[in-house]
């Protein structure tokens, strides 16, 4: 077989393989993007509140949202605390908490609720005395000194 004929046969084989490679490449791209979309959607679904009747509160490196809660004395307050941060944070490993104690000694016991990365907790407490009380995250982020990691409970 001549060199040109051999080159022509090899080129024809490559052209026949090309559609298969293109299809394989497209399949891989679709699989990667599909997996990414699935992971994003499943993560956001997992961070939907487990208690739809509770006050939905998100705590992240950006702070508490909402950072003000209004309540009535003698009525229970239920909070669904959601931590969307992951464990790769360098400050505290993504763990956050809701620490409510200042001025509450005569009203109720301290609340110190810790929520692990990418998880949530539901808790209930009953403030008994009107006033303004403050909570903060004490597990990371500079703790009490970090101005964005605070919130206020206003009891009427």
pLDDT tens digit string along 92-149? 678 888 988 756 544 556 788 999 988 999 999 888 889 999 899 887 666 677 778 8
Residue 21's Cβ-side half-sphere holds a number of Cα atoms within 13 Å equal to 6
Give me the mean pLDDT over the 65-78 stretch. 94
Residue 123, burial from CB neighbour count under 10 angstroms (0-12, 13-18, 19+): middle
pTM comes to: 0.66
**Residue 142 · residue 149 · CB < 8 Å:** yes
Q: What is the number of other CB atoms lying within 10 angstroms of the CB of residue 84?
A: 19
């Amino acid at each position: 077989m001549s060199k040109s004929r051999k080159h022509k046969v090899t080129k024809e084989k490559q052209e026949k393989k090309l559609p298969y490679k293109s299809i394989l490449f497209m399949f891989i791209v679709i699989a990667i993007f599909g997996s990414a979309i699935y992971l994003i959607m499943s993560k956001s679904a997992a961070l939907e509140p487990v208690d739809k009747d509770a006050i939905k509160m998100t705590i992240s490196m950006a702070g508490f949202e909402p950072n003000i809660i209004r309540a009535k004395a003698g009525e229970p307050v239920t909070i669904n605390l959601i931590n969307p941060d992951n464990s790769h944070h360098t400050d505290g490993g993504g763990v956050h908490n809701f620490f409510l104690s200042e001025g509450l000694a005569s009203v109720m016991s301290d609340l110190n609720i810790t929520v692990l990365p990418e998880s949530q907790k539901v808790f209930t407490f009953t403030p008994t005395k009107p006033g303004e009380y403050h909570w903060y995250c004490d597990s990371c982020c500079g703790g009490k000194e970090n101005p964005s990691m605070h919130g206020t409970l206003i009891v009427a």
